[in-house]
Chain A
Amino acid sequence: MASIGLNIGLQALLTSQSALDIVGHNVANANTPGYSRQNLGISANGALNLRGLSIGSGVHADIVNRTVDNLLQTRLVSQSSALARLDSQLDVMGSIEALLGEPGGLGLSAGLDSFFSSISEFSSSPSELVLRTGMVQSAGSLASQFNQLATGLSTLQSDTANQVKYNIGQANLIAQDLVDLNGQISEIEAAGMPANDLRDQRQQALQQLAQHVDIGYTEGSNGIVRVTVGGRMLVGETRAYELKSKVDQTGGVTLNIEGSTIPLNVARGAVSGLESLSQGYIPGLQQNLDHFARNFILEMNRVHSTGVPASGGFTQLTAEHAVLDQDLDGELRDELLSRAGLPFDVTTGSLYVNITNDNTGATNTQRVDIDSSSTTVGQFIDRLNEIPGMNASLNGSGKLQLNSNAGVKFDFGTRLDSTPDEYGSFGGGAASLGSQGAGPFALSNGDTFDFTGPLGAFSVSVSTADFAEISQATAAELASVLNADANFQANGMRAVDVGGRLVVQTTNSGATASFDLTGGSGIAALGWTAGTTVTGQTTSVAPTISGSYSGANSDQYSFVPLGDGTIGTTPGLEVGVYDQNGLLVTTLSVGEGYAPGTELEVADGISVSFDFGSLSATHGDVFAVDLLADSDTTDVLVAFGLNGLFTGTDAATMAVRADLENDPNLLAASGSGASGDNQVLLDMLRMQTEGLEGLDGSSFNEFYNDFVGDVGFKVSSTSNAREVEGYLMENLELRREQVSGVNVDEELVKMIEFEQNFQAASRYIQVVNDIHNDLLQII
């Protein structure tokens, strides 16, 4: 009996001691992260049948329990994944935000402001060299701001990629730890012992791993946890599979796991956050910035390329961008102009080239038509070479090179040709006969034109081969047929295309210049009658154009007299003005009452004046003037990089044209070449607020504001999400603390409880012992 009593007491003592040990362990680990409170499972021993009574045989300690909520742990793991993703993103985005430096005086916005300020300042004193240099310099600093932003973004992208690598490395280390922990736990638990503290460590490791990559995990019956990433095994029963990252050329990162080449999709965790930045967001920003820079370069160069530098027209220009051999046949000239590898698009339209004589200052404007679907590089170059005084070729590196002959300069300005009647076909001194209307003319094969010149009669015949379509013969085609004729040349005659009309004239002028149109089968198509004699005159009407064209689209006005008569003399003499579609623009009264030399307003800001002389509608007098709203509607100058302000095609490559930076006089501020003309500058200033097609109708400012706003919005929404997720995490951690955390007071209460228990058990043993002694004394 006594031994039973002592045994009960001993077990009570031992149990209390174990409980006190666990209290001590709990208190000791009160601040250990991930530690789960442990407690001792105690149960009463079975009853013994003594003295006909069923008497309990004391207490024993069963097991050390770990208080843990597994569901909560799982949620904590996944929540830390979500949080880590946002944390990693916020970090990088903060850097992007700092890189932009907005709002304030340091960002690109301020750079744009100062660029446009310098233009505005220069435009009010366009002959000041200091302001000219200032504008070039501020263009340079704007370009370098673009460069810095581009470099900053790509550095951030590569940094982000490196961070992904670092995170992957950490994840692999933790995976290795997990394998070790799995082994120890299964070993201990196979022996029937709970591996409480190791499990806590493993849980902690899982949570850390989840911060790097988004994981899923399941625990097997043997206590081993398997971890998967994106559906692929990361930690198996016996080994970990290595995560690998690859950084591609564009700075994007791809992940895969050992034994598989399929890219891994990770939705959460720091790696996914960084990956989405380096693969999606930062490239998106770079793309937007490049798009912005590209359009900025395009628009500024569009305006600048048609300007004239302070140093006057050009004698030599070399393109920035080379033509590329797209069809790889070793021949560059056969490339379609719009698909010749040039960085900017070439569209259908016209380029106007002005050739100015150095001595006389006379300007000859020539139109070069480009059809984006058919014009080849070779055709374009050939057409440029047709312009008198102009030489175009591709240099060894495939870049277009333009040179002018000695004594002439070329430019692409929108200036008016003030003396447009270059052939004297409008009451000029030469004997001149114009067609009665603009082409095309319905000729047929073998049609003849019979003339009598100073050397006698001759006939010129045309054949189908001379025309693209003989029934639709153009004035230019017919002119080249006539000009190629030996008799025609020998008689001192020439044929020219004036505003689509064919004009045949003598090369010399004065009252002695004369020829006859005697007949021919082709003359009716041109509205001519046989037996027409034309004679030159001593006075020349020499029309003069003034003003500046304000129309929205480029046009060509043809001026033709509506009757025969003398300027300022013949009653009712009128000149009709037709646009390039043949529609009447206006009629001008130049007969009796008109004082020769008086300016008459035509339309759209231009005026014309006529000198004394006679006009003949019968002889088809005509002159045409090109009115340029935009001297390059094709963007071919921008595409080749001719006379641009900026070079480069995106934010990283943008720069001020090198020769222009060295010599600010090459800055083409003027539309006419006059020192005080600031047309180009004013056009640039207008671009500041204009909605641009390339930017989907936004202006530069609006687009850039969107760009900045987008970053700001992303940062603020990420930071809001971070706040919410952080709160959730805190909440979950609190819940975990509630379940598994150690309350020292609670432990102290338990300690007192078991201390008292221990004392009671000691007392009980003493009592049992006393009883024994009492009994022994009796003996």
Chain B
Amino acid sequence: MNLRPTQSSKFALVNSGLSLNFAKLALSQERIATGKRILRPSDDVIGTAKSLATRKQMSRIGNYRDAIESSRPYLESASSSLQDVSGILSEARALITQGMSGTLNDSDRRIISGQIEQLVDQLVDVANSQFGERYLFGGTLSNDPPFSFETVNGTRRVVYHGDDEVQRVQIGAGTEVGINVPGSDIFGLFEYAGAQLSGSTGATLGTSANQGTGYADLIFRHDATVGTPGAGIALANGGDDDTILQDHLLTVDATAGTVTLGNGTAVPIPQPGDADYADFVVETADGAEVHLDFTGWTGVDTGATLSGAGSVSLDGVNFTPLAFTETDLELVDSESGTVVHLDTTNVNRAGTELLGFQGGVNIFDALLGAASDLKNSSSLGSADFLARMTDRLGELERNQENALSALGTLGARTERLNDSAERLGAMDVSLQGVLSQIEDADLATVALELSRAEQTLQLAQMTGSRLLQNSLLNFLR
């Protein structure tokens, strides 16, 4: 209680009242001008902590959204490339099916083969698609083209240079999502199902396991024919043109006028003067041939066993002589890493077996193989040709499924990014609301505070001016 008011205390009171109200007014004005309730940490310590945490969270959400936005076109571009792949593969399958038709002649097939090779070129282009400077299908090795043509063992192949890694981006605390599918999963995802031989040499796989990818030609070569036909009949060209391997019985029936080789059908003996009299081909049911020279034939029956010696090669360079007793002959091609084990006991003719690793053939090998088969269809028997083409078509279908499933993976990842983007967007909005609640001044309240402060100040000024005028001096005359 101010019992004895003095001049100074009266002035001090007015003064402190005025400055207090001025301060209030200034604070309200600052809040209105900035729209913020917290301008420095001491304005509201807990609010500042909350605001910092919220801002941090918003910044992280911003980062996640940016990451999503910059990854999305990458995924979308990969998806659209894969759709192209799917289209190319469908076209290739149609061409192969067309090429398998028996009504086509060799030149038709060569045209189709050329078309397929073009499709392979297209496919490699797609597989090397870029987004910006980045290759889409190289795994994390995204600076260099992941696929290129190379010649392995004289065969044109497409080789992958990328890795199997999935590139990831962070789209949430502890949540990372892949934004690519490595090319190895799209164009050559292997599900090994074992090796398979297509051909008619009679060779089968041995007991041990085999290793390799794609296709390889297994060449059974005829080296020499051992044995004499008898009755003055000679081996034409010393037997060099024969294709028989192992023993085959040659029967010449003068009475019936026929000649038979092994399980082959009997054919009429040529007459002198025939064009093939000196080089007559007899073959077994499997197509193993013997070339006979009837020039010196004495005209009597004869029956003799002719034996074909031969060798086998996996790489076309190194040949291994065959004893035809091997049940598990190991052939290694160190250049391609292929290992195959053969049972040669039933080999009965020379020829080429297509060694295919089922589930181990990439798209390019399947297509290039089909193209080469179509080109060389004349040198393959029609049964061999069909078997090879069917095999290639099967691999192609499997690969197409892989490409589709990769497309599905990309789709799912895009979906996930979209979902996250949406969720993060919603979170951002709600956090902005939270931040605004923490930091922002409620304009209505502040305006009310401002006008109250203004009023109080005016009142203080009025009372001050009135009070300070009052003095006894006013009444002293």
Q: Do the beta carbons of A595 and B194 come within 8 Å of each other?
A: yes
Closest to A708 in B: B41
Q: Do the beta carbons of A117 and B71 come within 8 Å of each other?
A: no
Q: Do the beta carbons of A612 and B339 come within 8 Å of each other?
A: yes
Q: Is B138 an interface residue (CB 8 A)?
A: yes
Q: Do the beta carbons of A678 and B2 come within 8 Å of each other?
A: no
- Say which residue of A128, A674, A730 sits within 8 Å of B141 (CB atoms): A674
Q: Is A587 an interface residue (CB 8 A)?
A: no
With a cutoff of 8 Å between Cβ atoms, the chain B residues found around residue A538 in the complex are 330, 332
With a cutoff of 8 Å between Cβ atoms, the chain A residues found around residue B71 in the complex are 124
- Say which residue of B16, B167, B211 sits within 8 Å of A676 (CB atoms): B167
Q: Do the beta carbons of A741 and B360 come within 8 Å of each other?
A: no
Q: Which of A709-731 contact B (CB under 8 A)?
A: 709, 711-716, 719, 730
Q: Do the beta carbons of A674 and B139 come within 8 Å of each other?
A: yes
Q: How far is the CA of A689 from the CA of B173 in the complex (A)?
A: 8
Interface residue count on the A side (C-beta < 8 Å): 78
Closest to A743 in B: B6
Q: Do the beta carbons of A113 and B170 come within 8 Å of each other?
A: no
Q: Is B8 an interface residue (CB 8 A)?
A: yes
Q: Is B210 an interface residue (CB 8 A)?
A: yes
Q: How far is the CA of A611 from the CA of B471 in the complex (A)?
A: 113
Question: In this complex, which of A103, A596, A752 has the most chain B Cβ atoms within 10 angstroms of its Cβ?
Answer: A103
- Nearest CB of chain B from residue A708's CB, rounded to whole Å: 5
With a cutoff of 8 Å between Cβ atoms, the chain A residues found around residue B55 in the complex are 103, 109, 113
Question: In this complex, which of B56, B67, B132, B476 has the most chain A Cβ atoms within 10 angstroms of its Cβ?
Answer: B56
Q: Which of B431-468 contact A (CB under 8 A)?
A: 439
Q: Do the beta carbons of B41 and A709 come within 8 Å of each other?
A: yes
Q: Do the beta carbons of A127 and B42 come within 8 Å of each other?
A: no
Q: Do the beta carbons of A102 and B134 come within 8 Å of each other?
A: no
Closest to A748 in B: B472
Q: Is B209 an interface residue (CB 8 A)?
A: yes
Give 1 or 0 for each of A604-621: 1 = CB within 8 Å of chain B CB: 000000011000000000
Give 1 or 0 for each of B353-389: 1 = CB within 8 Å of chain A CB: 0000101100000000000000000000000000000
Give 1 or 0 for each of B179-215: 1 = CB within 8 Å of chain A CB: 1100000000010111000000000000111111100
Q: Is A774 an interface residue (CB 8 A)?
A: no
Q: Do the beta carbons of B52 and A705 come within 8 Å of each other?
A: yes
Q: Do the beta carbons of B9 and A741 come within 8 Å of each other?
A: yes
- Say which residue of B42, B213, B476 sits within 8 Å of A597 (CB atoms): B213
Q: Do the beta carbons of A733 and B12 come within 8 Å of each other?
A: yes
Give 1 or 0 for each of A675-718: 1 = CB within 8 Å of chain B CB: 11110001001101100000000000110111011011111100
Q: Do the beta carbons of B476 and A595 come within 8 Å of each other?
A: no
Known: A109-B56, A566-B208, A745-B471. A120 touches B66 (CB 8 A): yes
Closest to A102 in B: B41
A residues adjacent to B (C-beta < 8 A) = 30-31, 93, 97-98, 100, 102-103, 109, 112-113, 116-117, 120-121, 123-128, 538-539, 546-548, 566-569, 592, 594-598, 611-612, 670, 672, 674-678, 682, 685-686, 688-689, 701-702, 704-706, 708-709, 711-716, 719, 730, 733-734, 737-739, 741-745, 748-749, 752
- Say which residue of A539, A594, A675 sits within 8 Å of B330 (CB atoms): A539
Q: Do the beta carbons of B165 and A701 come within 8 Å of each other?
A: no
Q: Do the beta carbons of B52 and A701 come within 8 Å of each other?
A: yes
Q: How far is the CA of A719 from the CA of B42 in the complex (A)?
A: 9
Q: Do the beta carbons of A748 and B473 come within 8 Å of each other?
A: yes
- Say which residue of A124, A709, A734 sits within 8 Å of B169 (CB atoms): A124
Q: Is B176 an interface residue (CB 8 A)?
A: yes
With a cutoff of 8 Å between Cβ atoms, the chain B residues found around residue A716 in the complex are 41-43, 45
Q: How far is the CA of A568 from the CA of B193 in the complex (A)?
A: 12
Known: A598-B192, A682-B176. A672 touches B56 (CB 8 A): no
Known: A120-B64, A125-B70, A748-B476. A98 touches B40 (CB 8 A): yes
Q: Is B133 an interface residue (CB 8 A)?
A: yes
Name 7 A/B residue pairs within 8 A (Cβ), A-sorted: A568-B211, A569-B207, A708-B48, A709-B45, A730-B16, A741-B9, A743-B5
With a cutoff of 8 Å between Cβ atoms, the chain A residues found around residue B272 in the complex are none
- Nearest CB of chain A from residue B216's CB, rounded to whole Å: 14
- Say which residue of A676, A688, A730 sits within 8 Å of B60 (CB atoms): A688
With a cutoff of 8 Å between Cβ atoms, the chain A residues found around residue B42 in the complex are 93, 97, 711-716, 719
With a cutoff of 8 Å between Cβ atoms, the chain B residues found around residue A702 in the complex are 53
Known: A102-B41, A569-B209. A116 touches B472 (CB 8 A): no
Q: Is B295 an interface residue (CB 8 A)?
A: no
Interface pairs A-B: 7 shortest CB-CB: A568-B209, A712-B41, A595-B192, A741-B6, A715-B42, A596-B211, A676-B142
With a cutoff of 8 Å between Cβ atoms, the chain B residues found around residue A539 in the complex are 330, 332, 339
Q: Is B59 an interface residue (CB 8 A)?
A: yes
Known: A30-B7, A733-B12. A123 touches B170 (CB 8 A): yes
Q: Do the beta carbons of A597 and B52 come within 8 Å of each other?
A: no
Q: How far is the CA of A713 from the CA of B41 in the complex (A)?
A: 8
Q: Is B143 an interface residue (CB 8 A)?
A: yes
Q: What would 19 more interface pairs be, CB under 8 Å, given A596-B339, A743-B4, A743-B5?
A: A31-B11, A93-B42, A102-B40, A102-B41, A103-B41, A103-B52, A117-B59, A120-B170, A592-B209, A596-B210, A612-B211, A674-B139, A676-B167, A685-B63, A705-B53, A709-B48, A712-B40, A712-B45, A748-B473
